Structure 1
Amino acid sequence: MGKGQSEIRMIWLMVLIIVGVGAWFLDVRIFTYLCGLAFVMSVMQYVDAIYSPAAQIAAETHLSVQESSKVPLYLCSIIAIVGGILDWEFAIAVGITGWVFFFLRWLRRLEGVLNQIQTRLQHPQTPVSSVVENPQSQPHETQPASSSELIEQFKQWIFQGNPVLKVAILVLVIGIILLLRFATEHWQLSLAVKLAIVAGISGAVTALGYWMQTKNRSFALALEGLGLAALFLTLFFAYYNAVIPTLAIAGLCFALIMGVTLILSLKQQSIELVLMAMIIAYIAPFTLPVRNATAIELIAYYVVINLAVAVLSTLRPWKMLNQIAFLMTVIVGGGYAFYQGKEFEKNTLTFLVAVHTAIFVWLSFRFSQLIAKEDIAQFKLKPVLDIALIFGAPLVGYIFIYLMHFEETRWQAGASLAFAAVYAGLYQLSKRHQAVLLISQSYFSLMLIFLALIPPILLHKQWSVIGWAVEGLIIFIYALYRQSDISRYLAMGLMIVAGLSSLYYLVELNEFPNEMYWGLCLSYFAVVVVANSRESFRQQLGSSTIAFHCLQMLSATTMLIVLLLDEIEHSSQLVMSLLIVSGFYLLINEAMLRCKATWTWLFPKWLGLIPVFVFALIIVIDQSQQGIIVWPTLFDRLGFALSGLMLTALWLRPLLGVRTEKEWVSFGTLTSLAMTSLTLLPGMPYISVVILPLLFCAWCYWQLDNPDWKMFWQAHISLVLMASWIICSQLFSQQAFQGYILPIINPFDLVSIAVLAGFIWMLSLQVKSGLDKGIVAVLMVLSLLWLSSYIVLRALHVYLNTPFNEMAVWGNATVQLSLTLLWVSLAFITMSLASRKQLRSVWILGGSILVIVTLKLVLFDLSHIGTLTRVISFLGAGFVMLMIAYIAPIPEGENTNPSSRPSP
């Protein structure tokens, strides 16, 4: 187990403890119980991750290992949780005590196994067939460098060198900020004198650092950065407290300090110094105690800082400085401008955005030239932040201008044309230099991008959205034929703009133009279909493009359903819309199968079907009345059933989906079959919903030569769906007594038994796929007791008029006596059969039922039921246990030799 994984486990356990304790004190006990259950399961999984490999190694080295079952741990956890929910403090104490006991016994066995392995390795008298591999003892492989040099530079600067010095500098900077705030508000000296003292001390610290550079470079640079940062902060406090009366004088002082910073950085070749000063300069406006800066003041101030960055980058190719400047300007400056900006400041802010964009365009151009001159052979762009400096700066700048002038077409089109002209000029300038050929191609692409934005902008209102979508579709098809990544990303951007623009009409204007949404919907569908129509197209689709297609299908399907509901005016419009959408998906899926599309189509298809299932659920809820489903017409019933069958075919064709992602396919297939099945017996929905899933389960059981169908039922989601029916059907069904003749001889009991058989078969498959045997045993026992108990409860309610699904059940003596005798009888049948067939695991299963019976007798029957029934419960249970002890002793082991089995 890796060190990182262990730390994550420890953090997870600590979070559970903190949340559980906090919920307890906030009197939200249900969260405490859930956190306790999660803590118990996590600890058991953590120990099992150590115990299982150790036991396997011990077995391979011929060491004796005592088998340890986790069933008692699960049972004790269930007892404690049930006791907590029902406020049975004694049950909580018993459950926790038992869990701790069995857990400590498990740890003791683990310790014994590890000691045996250690002894064998220290004294290898016999050959060992397996070598213990400890990942932590192996030499670490050299990890590949991160794709983001900015992150690596931050890590190197923070974690290497002298960390104490860096923490001290950070603390001192915070102290200076607090000192300036305190001096501004409390000191009796004039504010000018106070700030002059602070500025003088800061200048002295800077000079001291410069003087010490030959003795201790890192310490000297830290002092210089501290002094310069303090000077920037002092200047801001002086200006915003009117000590410096005019902006011109403040700007001159700022330029002077910035000039000193640049000179010292260049002279000492230290990016750390300029970084420290620049970062403080960016955050300085937010340390002021007097007032907040206006949007224009902050953006104009950032222009001055970025001009200094441009000067420095013109002389030295410090890419990290450019990246920080870009990120701070976009995130901090842009966010502040949208938060504090006013309508009357729009034109000034537009000019400032254009200035910032020009600065970063120059930075990207100059940086590429400097890098290319240093190493032409190895020149290439990194995929994230380097590309952001070339493509991000103009695109972000244009987005800001576009949003500030959202309803002004001339501004938007004019900005697009201006940006296109700028990049056309840069393309002509840069293509003369072979060293920056890649940069020149990028500039040419940007020119085409801004030209492509103009036609949709000039269209009128909602037709502009259609223009974005159609142009995106055309460019996407062009990109696939030309294998151009840039064009494909441009098309994706246009599609996103179209979708966001359509939301503006729906949310802000409260309009629903059908033509716009039809164009957007069909364009989204067309992009996904075209991308999967050819093998050469599919090879160009990466994970990011597939994720984008998934979102497209989700949005397109939702729009299609809403548009059909708006277009169809009929009493059966809901089912008709569902039928059309299902048939449309089926046709597309068959076309994709002919094109041999695989996972690049499967994932968008699966996500696109989610709105269809939500829509089907809405239809079912709409047709439900007093626990039954009432279909208005035969067409509604048959149409809904046909839609369910088509959705089932969509999930199962191709069968490749079962091997690709069995959880998704299992969920979709079972849900689709349940949809169709609901139309068979609408008067008994809880029985009707599982008819087709049970028939499908039986068919898969007999497909012995096709492992894919068994893999289908090995999915955890199938188990969850079956378990949900087992619980909910018994609690909420209002037709449980319909057609009741005799116990078991009635529709509800027969279906419950069939579901139980399928559930147990699925659990056996889960064991083969690696699910813990202890969990499987507990689920088998609980499902058997749950359904059999409800069969008895229904019989008692019919014949003896006992309570049913009421709290009075717990106080009814007849019911409790019947449950005790039922459970002990099940234990007797299971354990006697297991003893005869020498099936140890089945015997342990019956023994678990016997443990539950014993706990019920001691914890509940002893104090909650009448005297006579209590006596009968104890006597009956004790007699059956006595018979079990005589007739069905525990088998010695699993019988693998058929000839050795005793004849019946």
Structure 2
Amino acid sequence: MHKGQSEIRMIWLMILIIVGVGAWFLKAHIFTYLCGLALVMSVMQYVDALQTPAAQIATEKHISFQETSKVPLYLASIVALVGGAMDWSFVVGAGVTAWIFFFLRWLRRLEALLNRVQRRLQQVPPTAYVAVEPTSHTEPLELPFTSNSISLVDQFRQWIFQGNPVLKVAILVLIIGIVLLLRFATEHWQLSLALKLSIVASVSGAVTALGYGLQAKNRSFALALEGLGLAALFLTLFFAYYNGVIAMLWVAAFCFAVIMLLTLHLSLKQQSIELALMAMIIAYIAPFTLPVRNATAVELIAYYVVINLAVAVLSTLRPWKILNQIAFLITVIVGGSYAFYQGEAEERRILTVLVVAHTAIFVWLSFRFSQLLAKADLAQFKLKPALDVALIFSAPIVGYIFIYLMYFDEMYWQAGASLDFAVVYAGLYLLSKRHQAVQLISQSYLSLMLIFLALIPPILLPEQWSVVGWAVEGLMIFIYALYRESNISRYLGMGLLVVAGLSSFYYLAELSQFPREMYWGLCLSYFAVVLLANSRASFRKQLSHATIAFHGLQMLFATTMLIVLLLDQIDRANQFVICLLIVSGCYLLMNEVMLYCKATWSWLLPKWLGLIPVFVFAFIIVLDQSKQGIIVWSSTFDRVAFALSGLILTALWLRPMLGVRAEKEWVSFGVLLSLAMSSLSLVPSMPYMSVVILPLLFCAWCYWQVDNPDWKIFWQARSTLVLMATWMLSSQLLTQQAFQAYVLPILNPFDLVSIAMLIGFMWMLSLQVKSGLDKGIVAVLMVLSLLWLSSYIVLRALHVYLGTPLNELALWQDGTVQLSLTLLWVGLAFMTMSLASHKQLRSVWILGGSILVVVTLKLVLFDLSHIGTLTRVVSFLGAGLVMLVIAYIAPMPEGEKI
């Protein structure tokens, strides 16, 4: 088992234990029982995951072993759970004891299997390995592991977990202690505040000097001390200024500049990015450690400008990429969030200047970093597609977004800012293309210039038409990108489409009338992007996983918009059903066009996501047409149109069959829902029966498709199993029309459908075994489904002829009901075990034996004290006689007959 998976399993088990114990003390016993059941199942799955590879090796090595049945474990778990729910302590104890016994037996057999496998493997000669010893002429191979060759996450992992992690934790704890010390000194110490802070600053300076002096002896420890001292100096300076010890801003700024220059000097002199990182990060978070007041938005953003200038100086002299990345992320996330939270309208002009300053700094950082790398090794210079490119593209785009949002209602400011950015990048493009060292990033500057020029036309359009402009322009740029195979243009088109969608929410809230023209343009643009991207093989090759996921979201929102627009456009009594039929027909047409274009996965996933709103809408229609547990269609047209829509959706899921073979869970779930939706219109007076007619017919048709195994794969999906099990539970408990056309037991519509569902469920469970589902779970599900449906058939018959309770707690006290259930279950066990003994089917015999176990538990735990004397006697005698007959004529088969 993979180490990561093992750790996740252990964490999951600990969470279950903690939650279960906590729920018990909080008197939420039901959660404790559920957590206990989940813990039991998880432990069994964990052990099974250990046993499976050992069993495979044993089979390959021809080692005999006895496979342990997990049916007793499942039955013991169910007994304990039922006992807990009924507050029967004895039953809980018996179930837990039985579970522990069978579980320990399983572990003992697994241990024996592992020992046999180990002994057999030790008899096989080990594979010969050739060891290469380094010679005196061989130089050690060193893998490059610099801050420029690994990702940001990997660098964090390296610095945190490699080297001396204890030292890193100690430094972190000391910094937190310094912050607490400064806050405590500010509020409680009796000495003057100036003296307190002077003492802290002196100690911090001494620690920095000590670290510098230890540089030759222990570099890592020395750098940690220097970083600790510089961080303490930054914190002390902030406390001094905001507590009035340093009254003049220029004095505080001068002191800050001195500390910053000292940090730059030590980092460059010692070639230590770790020291720069430690000091810079503390400088970024220092304003949030103050106990006095919060900084204003202008103060914080201006302060970050100073820090980023220091970062720019460092990066101008050394290509420390991670420093640029952290500075950009902290400025955007922390600084941007703070500015929007604390910013005031009158500060907008100053904040605009500060945003421009930050943007200029990061534009220079990206340019200089690429220049330094290119000069270092021009032949191998290549921009990486993650954070390297983000520094080139994200800095100006994020800066422009901030300006755009600050001037959201002033289109000329937005257009002017876009034009200014375009002019700047046009100049950078002209400068960079003259130098071969930066030729690779010159195209990036050209792309940015075109991006900012492309933003101007939609901005100048009035109100909702600007949204249409964004969408249409995004569509045109996306098409251009597909023809030119330009990733940058494709991402630009996707960005414009996102902007269009987000802007539409603003105008939806602001305009007094529903902006249907805006949403028609947005809806059609979204559909067009997905269809055009899948229309050619050359286009589909350019689609990454992220792009396909984006198309899926587009189809989701486009379908929702189409439904809303059609409801707004159609003004008739049956507008819901007409709308559903139109949307389904549109999807059918699009799907056929895509199949003609030979589209595969790049179309299937967006199509499936786009169908989600259609199913939600169909469910709303069913609820709207339901009255007192039956469906009352307004007209024959509505009924036929709804059924036709369901059949169309079924075709959409099944065409192409590629989806069934590769993603059976999604497709099976969608097909069953579509068929159930269409089937609801067949017998609207009995919806619980009607909803499964077409799925059952489809199941029977798949069973007879011997030459096409794809249809059987379809029914191996776990989602299909869950849907059918849900119907079997809910239909018996909730249906109000089970007695319509009731002639005799079994000879009535609802009982016949229930039996058909049981047969289909059994067939599906047999397919689940072939797909890898645990045989023990399958056996338990077979037993429970058989007992559940057959018991309800008997309960309904007793209710019709004898007036016994149905779906009431009183049925547990009714002797006739309990006697009938006991004889029914024993009879089922007799038939099952007799057939198994005759056909030599050991697994089927165990299934019947499981029913006998359930009967025995019912007799001992329930019938013995909850029913009348005569019926109790008959129950025990009848069950005992049938068991005696079984023991004589249906002994356990010796082996499974093939």
**Which category describes the TM-score, using the shorter chain as reference length?**
over 0.9
2:23 corresponds to: 23
1:135 corresponds to: none
Residue 161 (1) aligns with residue 163 (2): yes
Amino acid at match of 2:27: D
- Does structure 2 conserve the Cα–Cα contact (< 8 Å) formed by 1:687 and 1:751? yes
Q: TM-score under structure 1 normalisation?
A: 0.96
Classify the secondary structure of the residue corresponding to 2:455: helix
- Does structure 2 conserve the Cα–Cα contact (< 8 Å) formed by 1:147 and 1:383? no
2:282 corresponds to: 280
1:89 corresponds to: 89
1:240 corresponds to: 242
| CA distance, structure 2, for counterparts of residue 621 and residue 820 of structure 1 | 39
Q: Alpha carbon RMSD of aligned pairs, Å? A: 1.6
| CA distance, structure 1, for counterparts of residue 772 and residue 214 of structure 2 | 65
How far apart are residue 239 of structure 1 and its match?
0.6
How far apart are residue 510 of structure 1 and its match?
6.8
| CA distance, structure 1, for counterparts of residue 534 and residue 256 of structure 2 | 57
- Does structure 2 conserve the Cα–Cα contact (< 8 Å) formed by 1:832 and 1:884? yes
1:270 corresponds to: 272
Residue 428 (1) aligns with residue 438 (2): no
Residue 2 (1) aligns with residue 15 (2): no
Amino acid at match of 1:63: I
Residue 738 (1) aligns with residue 740 (2): yes
| CA distance, structure 2, for counterparts of residue 507 and residue 75 of structure 1 | 57
1:397 corresponds to: 399
Where does 1:366-445 land on structure 2 (aligned, <5 Å)? 366-445=368-447
1:193 corresponds to: 195
Q: TM-score under structure 2 normalisation?
A: 0.96
Where does 1:594-613 land on structure 2 (aligned, <5 Å)? 594-613=596-615
| CA distance, structure 2, for counterparts of residue 790 and residue 150 of structure 1 | 61
2:842 corresponds to: 840
Moved more, 65-74 or 570-579: 65-74
Query: In the alignment, which of 653, 656, 663 is matched to residue 654 of structure 1?
Result: 656
Q: Deviations over 1:550-581 (max 9, x none)?
A: 00000000000011111100000000000000
Query: In the alignment, which of 467, 474, 477 is matched to residue 476 of structure 2?
Result: 474
- Does structure 2 conserve the Cα–Cα contact (< 8 Å) formed by 1:148 and 1:384? no
Moved more, 758-767 or 163-172: 163-172
Classify the secondary structure of the residue corresponding to 2:384: coil
Q: Deviations over 1:571-601 (max 9, x none)?
A: 0000000000000100000111111111110
Residue 769 (1) aligns with residue 804 (2): no
| CA distance, structure 2, for counterparts of residue 705 and residue 522 of structure 1 | 42
| CA distance, structure 2, for counterparts of residue 790 and residue 778 of structure 1 | 18
- Does structure 2 conserve the Cα–Cα contact (< 8 Å) formed by 1:147 and 1:384? no
2:140 corresponds to: none
1:760 corresponds to: 762
| CA distance, structure 2, for counterparts of residue 576 and residue 80 of structure 1 | 52
Unaligned runs of 5+ in 1: 132-141, 897-904
| CA distance, structure 2, for counterparts of residue 694 and residue 158 of structure 1 | 58
Residue 181 (1) aligns with residue 205 (2): no
- Does structure 2 conserve the Cα–Cα contact (< 8 Å) formed by 1:68 and 1:106? yes
| CA distance, structure 2, for counterparts of residue 602 and residue 92 of structure 1 | 49
| CA distance, structure 2, for counterparts of residue 12 and residue 561 of structure 1 | 42
2:569 corresponds to: 567
Classify the secondary structure of the residue corresponding to 1:27: coil
Q: Deviations over 1:606-647 (max 9, x none)?
A: 000000000000000100011110001111011101111111
Count of residues in correspondence between the two structures = 882
| CA distance, structure 1, for counterparts of residue 576 and residue 149 of structure 2 | 50
Residue 716 (1) aligns with residue 722 (2): no
Query: In the alignment, which of 520, 523, 526 is matched to residue 525 of structure 2?
Result: 523
Query: In the alignment, which of 509, 533, 536 is matched to residue 535 of structure 2?
Result: 533
Query: In the alignment, which of 639, 658, 667 is matched to residue 641 of structure 2?
Result: 639
| CA distance, structure 2, for counterparts of residue 405 and residue 111 of structure 1 | 71
1:694 corresponds to: 696
Q: Taking structure 1 as reference, are residues 641 and 148 closer, same or farther at Cα in structure 2, changes over 3 Å only?
A: farther
Amino acid at match of 1:397: G
Where does 1:446-485 land on structure 2 (aligned, <5 Å)? 446-485=448-487
| CA distance, structure 2, for counterparts of residue 583 and residue 59 of structure 1 | 53
| CA distance, structure 2, for counterparts of residue 62 and residue 344 of structure 1 | 83
| CA distance, structure 2, for counterparts of residue 481 and residue 664 of structure 1 | 32
Query: In the alignment, which of 225, 228, 251 is matched to residue 227 of structure 2?
Result: 225
| CA distance, structure 1, for counterparts of residue 59 and residue 378 of structure 2 | 60
How far apart are residue 799 of structure 1 and its match?
0.6
How far apart are residue 101 of structure 1 and its match?
1.1
How far apart are residue 148 of structure 1 and its match?
5.3
Amino acid at match of 2:24: W
Query: In the alignment, which of 795, 798, 811 is matched to residue 796 of structure 1?
Result: 798
- Does structure 2 conserve the Cα–Cα contact (< 8 Å) formed by 1:642 and 1:676? yes
| CA distance, structure 1, for counterparts of residue 396 and residue 842 of structure 2 | 72
Where does 1:32-51 land on structure 2 (aligned, <5 Å)? 32-51=32-51
1:549 corresponds to: 551
| CA distance, structure 1, for counterparts of residue 371 and residue 484 of structure 2 | 28
1:116 corresponds to: 116
Amino acid at match of 1:8: I
Amino acid at match of 1:14: M
Q: Deviations over 1:26-45 (max 9, x none)?
A: 33333222222221111101
| CA distance, structure 2, for counterparts of residue 147 and residue 849 of structure 1 | 64
| CA distance, structure 2, for counterparts of residue 121 and residue 454 of structure 1 | 72
Amino acid at match of 2:544: G
- Does structure 2 conserve the Cα–Cα contact (< 8 Å) formed by 1:210 and 1:220? yes
Amino acid at match of 2:623: I
Classify the secondary structure of the residue corresponding to 2:834: helix
- Does structure 1 conserve the Cα–Cα contact (< 8 Å) formed by 2:650 and 2:671? yes
2:827 corresponds to: 825
Moved more, 30-39 or 435-444: 30-39
- Does structure 2 conserve the Cα–Cα contact (< 8 Å) formed by 1:148 and 1:385? no
- Does structure 1 conserve the Cα–Cα contact (< 8 Å) formed by 2:463 and 2:507? no
How far apart are residue 244 of structure 1 and its match?
0.9
Amino acid at match of 1:518: W
Q: Deviations over 1:209-257 (max 9, x none)?
A: 1122122222221111111111111110011011111211111111111
- Does structure 2 conserve the Cα–Cα contact (< 8 Å) formed by 1:533 and 1:592? yes
| CA distance, structure 2, for counterparts of residue 689 and residue 150 of structure 1 | 54
Q: Taking structure 1 as reference, are residues 444 and 96 closer, same or farther at Cα in structure 2, changes over 3 Å only?
A: same
Classify the secondary structure of the residue corresponding to 1:620: helix
1:504 corresponds to: 506
| CA distance, structure 2, for counterparts of residue 524 and residue 498 of structure 1 | 10
| CA distance, structure 2, for counterparts of residue 214 and residue 271 of structure 1 | 17
1:899 corresponds to: none
1:257 corresponds to: 259
2:595 corresponds to: 593
Amino acid at match of 1:872: V
How far apart are residue 509 of structure 1 and its match?
5.5
Moved more, 61-70 or 589-598: 61-70
Amino acid at match of 1:59: T
- Does structure 2 conserve the Cα–Cα contact (< 8 Å) formed by 1:505 and 1:512? no
Classify the secondary structure of the residue corresponding to 1:382: coil
Amino acid at match of 1:572: N
How far apart are residue 88 of structure 1 and its match?
2.6
| CA distance, structure 2, for counterparts of residue 172 and residue 448 of structure 1 | 50
Classify the secondary structure of the residue corresponding to 1:381: coil
1:206 corresponds to: 208
Query: In the alignment, which of 618, 621, 625 is matched to residue 619 of structure 1?
Result: 621
How far apart are residue 22 of structure 1 and its match?
1.9
- Does structure 2 conserve the Cα–Cα contact (< 8 Å) formed by 1:147 and 1:382? no
How far apart are residue 507 of structure 1 and its match?
4.2
Amino acid at match of 2:9: R
| CA distance, structure 1, for counterparts of residue 841 and residue 298 of structure 2 | 81
- Does structure 1 conserve the Cα–Cα contact (< 8 Å) formed by 2:212 and 2:222? yes
How far apart are residue 115 of structure 1 and its match?
1.9
1:103 corresponds to: 103
How far apart are residue 63 of structure 1 and its match?
3.0
- Does structure 2 conserve the Cα–Cα contact (< 8 Å) formed by 1:824 and 1:849? yes
Amino acid at match of 1:88: W
| CA distance, structure 2, for counterparts of residue 148 and residue 773 of structure 1 | 47
